[in-house]
């Protein structure tokens, strides 16, 4: 995060700005949860895999189609908490059309953001930054990382 956390000049400013951003992020997570992007199945996937998070009961079934080195299509089905399903929706949206190397980089940065590493939540993550607050909730890390772990595994198996 760029702005230093200086509350003495703005007694409510920092807090209200933060809660405004958090409200927007919450809205974005719920939007992806209620209207998931790339939800469905492919007729001829190159890679298909299922991953579960037994801690929360989250399941993701992932299907990918490649065109050479490019992730041409990606779809998922699944069930579970809002964080796990919204992450799958946002990640598939972000990765579609990317090369396997670009996709792997985004997944790596996303995982670092979830683990709360400084500076990881940059613009290249787009909507995925809405999940940055999960870094403060270690018990939800497996929820946020379920789809990204599945995608990383699927990309690795294509190489």
Applying CB under 5 A, the residues found at the interface with Zn ion are: 56, 58, 80-81, 84, 143
Question: Based on C-alpha coordinates, what's the Rg of the chain?
Answer: 16
Q: Which is nearer to Zn ion, 60 or 120 (CB)?
A: 60
**φ, ψ dihedrals at 60, nearest 5°:** -130, 125
CB of 7 to Zn ion, least distance (A): 33
Provide DSSP, 94-123: HHTT-BHHHHHHHHHHHHHHHTT-TT---G
CB of 31 to Zn ion, least distance (A): 18
Q: Which is nearer to Zn ion, 24 or 137 (CB)?
A: 137
Instruction: Kindly give the pairing relationship between strand 47-53 and strand 70-79.
Output: unpaired
CB of 69 to Zn ion, least distance (A): 32
Q: Which is nearer to Zn ion, 7 or 50 (CB)?
A: 50
């Amino acid at each position: 995060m760029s702005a230093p956390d200086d509350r003495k000049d703005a007694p409510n400013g920092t807090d209200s700005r933060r809660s405004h951003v958090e409200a927007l992020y919450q809205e974005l997570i719920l939007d992806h949860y209620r209207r998931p992007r790339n939800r469905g199945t492919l007729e001829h996937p190159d890679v298909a895999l299922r991953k579960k998070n037994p801690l929360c009961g989250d399941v993701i079934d992932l299907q990918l189609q490649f065109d050479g080195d490019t992730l041409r299509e990606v779809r998922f089905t699944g069930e579970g908490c809002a964080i796990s399903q919204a992450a799958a929706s946002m990640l598939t949206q972000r990765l579609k059309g990317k090369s396997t190397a670009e996709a792997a980089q985004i997944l790596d940065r996303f995982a670092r953001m979830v683990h709360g590493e400084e500076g990881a939540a940059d613009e290249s993550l787009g909507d995925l930054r809405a999940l940055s607050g999960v870094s403060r909730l270690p018990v939800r890390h497996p929820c946020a990382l379920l789809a990204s772990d599945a995608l990383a595994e699927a990309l690795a198996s294509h190489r």
